[in-house]
A and B are shown apart, each in its own frame.
Chain A
Amino acid sequence: MNFPRIFHNLNYAVSVLLFLMGLYTVAIKPNLIKKLMGLNIMETAVFLFIVSTGMVKGGHAPIVEKGVKASEMVNPIPQALILTGIVVAVSTTAVALALCIKIHEKFGTLDASKITGREEI
Chain B
Amino acid sequence: MSVSGFPILLTAIPLLFAALCPIWGMWKREACFPWSLAGVSATAIITWALVPKISATGAIGYEVGGWAPPWGIHIRIDFMGLLMAVIISSAGLLILFYSWRYIIHEIEETKIPYYYTLFLLLFAAMLGFSITGDLFNLFVFMEIFSITSYALVAISGERKALRAAFKYLLMGAVSSITVLFSIALLYSVIGSLNMLDISKRLGQTPYGVVVNTAFALFIGAFAVKAAVFPVHMWLPDAHSIAPSPISAILSALVIKMGVLGIFRVVFTIYGPAFSSNSILWKNLCGVLSWAAAFSVVIGSAMAIIQRELKVMIAYSSVAHVGYILLGICMLSPRAMTGGLFNIIAHAMGKACFFLVAGSLIYKHNMKRIRELRGIGRTMPVTAGAFAIASLSIVGLPPTAGFMAKWYLLWGCFQKGRYVFAAMVLIGSLLSAIYCFRVVYYMFFTGPRLRTQKIDEVPPTMYLPAALLSLGTLVLGIYSSLVISAITRFVGGLPVK
Judged by CB atoms under 8 Å, the answer to whether A and B touch is yes
Interface residues of A (CB under 8 A from B): 19, 23, 26, 32, 35, 39, 42-43, 46, 49-50, 53, 77-78, 81, 84-85, 88, 91-92, 95-96, 99-100, 102-103, 106-107, 115-116, 118, 121
- Docked Cα-Cα span, A43 to B160, in Å, equals 28
- Proximity bits, B131-144, A CB within 8 Å = 1, else 0: 00000100010010
- Docked Cα-Cα span, A31 to B150, in Å, equals 19
Known A-B contacts A99-B154, A121-B160; the reply to A53 vs B143 at CB < 8 A is no
Closest to A107 in B: B159
Extra inter-chain contacts (19) besides given A95-B169, A96-B169, A116-B163, CB under 8 Å? A19-B181, A26-B174, A35-B170, A42-B174, A46-B177, A46-B180, A77-B193, A81-B136, A81-B184, A84-B140, A88-B140, A92-B146, A95-B151, A99-B162, A99-B165, A103-B166, A106-B159, A118-B159, A121-B159
Q: For A81, list chain B residues within 8 Å (CB).
A: 136, 184, 187
Q: For B188, list chain A residues within 8 Å (CB).
A: 53
Known A-B contacts A91-B143, A92-B169, A95-B150; the reply to A106 vs B162 at CB < 8 A is yes
Q: For A100, list chain B residues within 8 Å (CB).
A: 166
B173 part of interface (Cβ distance < 8 Å): yes
- Docked Cα-Cα span, A43 to B177, in Å, equals 6
Q: For A78, list chain B residues within 8 Å (CB).
A: 184, 187
User: In the complex the two chains form, is B163's CB within 8 Å of A96's CB?
Assistant: no
Q: For B160, list chain A residues within 8 Å (CB).
A: 121
> Which residue among A43, A88, A100, A103 has the maximum number of chain B CB atoms within 10 Å of its CB?
A88
- Docked Cα-Cα span, A60 to B187, in Å, equals 21
User: In the complex the two chains form, is B158's CB within 8 Å of A121's CB?
Assistant: yes
Distance (Å) between the CB of B389 and the closest chain A CB?
A: 28
> Which residue among A77, A99, A118 has the maximum number of chain B CB atoms within 10 Å of its CB?
A99
User: In the complex the two chains form, is A53's CB within 8 Å of B177's CB?
Assistant: no
Between A and B, 9 residue pairs with Cβ closer than 8 Å are A35-B170, A46-B180, A50-B184, A53-B188, A91-B147, A95-B151, A99-B166, A102-B154, A106-B157
> Which residue among A43, A53, A85 has the maximum number of chain B CB atoms within 10 Å of its CB?
A85
If over half of A's interface residues share one DSSP class (helix, strand or loop), that class is named, otherwise mixed; here it is helix
Closest to B163 in A: A115
- Docked Cα-Cα span, A95 to B160, in Å, equals 17
Closest to B209 in A: A2
Q: Kindly identify which residue among B158, B163, B174 contacts A39, using a CB–CB cutoff of 8 Å.
A: B174
User: In the complex the two chains form, is A32's CB within 8 Å of B174's CB?
Assistant: no
Distance (Å) between the CB of A49 and the closest chain B CB?
A: 6
Question: How many residues on chain B are close to A (CB under 8 Å)?
Answer: 28
- Docked Cα-Cα span, A77 to B438, in Å, equals 54
Distance (Å) between the CB of A117 and the closest chain B CB?
A: 11
Closest to A93 in B: B173
Q: Kindly identify which residue among A49, A92, A102 contacts B181, using a CB–CB cutoff of 8 Å.
A: A49
Q: For B170, list chain A residues within 8 Å (CB).
A: 26, 35, 39
- Docked Cα-Cα span, A63 to B193, in Å, equals 22
Closest to B150 in A: A95
- Docked Cα-Cα span, A105 to B96, in Å, equals 31
Q: Kindly identify which residue among A23, A53, A99, A118 contacts B174, using a CB–CB cutoff of 8 Å.
A: A23
> Which residue among B143, B159, B173, B174 has the maximum number of chain A CB atoms within 10 Å of its CB?
B173
- Docked Cα-Cα span, A85 to B147, in Å, equals 14
- Docked Cα-Cα span, A70 to B15, in Å, equals 37
Q: Kindly identify which residue among A39, A102, A103, A107 contacts B177, using a CB–CB cutoff of 8 Å.
A: A39
Q: For A26, list chain B residues within 8 Å (CB).
A: 170, 174
- Docked Cα-Cα span, A103 to B154, in Å, equals 10
Known A-B contacts A84-B140, A99-B154; the reply to A46 vs B166 at CB < 8 A is no
Distance (Å) between the CB of A52 and the closest chain B CB?
A: 9
User: In the complex the two chains form, is A95's CB within 8 Å of B140's CB?
Assistant: no
> Which residue among B143, B157, B166, B169 has the maximum number of chain A CB atoms within 10 Å of its CB?
B166
Closest to A81 in B: B136
- Docked Cα-Cα span, A43 to B170, in Å, equals 13
Q: For B184, list chain A residues within 8 Å (CB).
A: 46, 49-50, 53, 78, 81
- Docked Cα-Cα span, A63 to B143, in Å, equals 30
Distance (Å) between the CB of B151 and the closest chain A CB?
A: 6
Closest to B189 in A: A53
Q: For A85, list chain B residues within 8 Å (CB).
A: 180
User: In the complex the two chains form, is A96's CB within 8 Å of B173's CB?
Assistant: yes
Distance (Å) between the CB of B61 and the closest chain A CB?
A: 21
- Docked Cα-Cα span, A91 to B121, in Å, equals 14
Q: For A106, list chain B residues within 8 Å (CB).
A: 157, 159, 162
User: In the complex the two chains form, is B177's CB within 8 Å of A42's CB?
Assistant: yes
- Docked Cα-Cα span, A63 to B176, in Å, equals 31
Nearest 7 CB-CB pairings of A with B: A53-B188, A50-B184, A88-B143, A106-B159, A46-B181, A42-B177, A103-B162
- Docked Cα-Cα span, A78 to B166, in Å, equals 30
User: In the complex the two chains form, is B166's CB within 8 Å of A84's CB?
Assistant: no
- Docked Cα-Cα span, A59 to B162, in Å, equals 48
- Docked Cα-Cα span, A106 to B166, in Å, equals 13
Distance (Å) between the CB of B410 and the closest chain A CB?
A: 41
Closest to A54 in B: B188
User: In the complex the two chains form, is B173's CB within 8 Å of A32's CB?
Assistant: no
- Docked Cα-Cα span, A43 to B159, in Å, equals 28
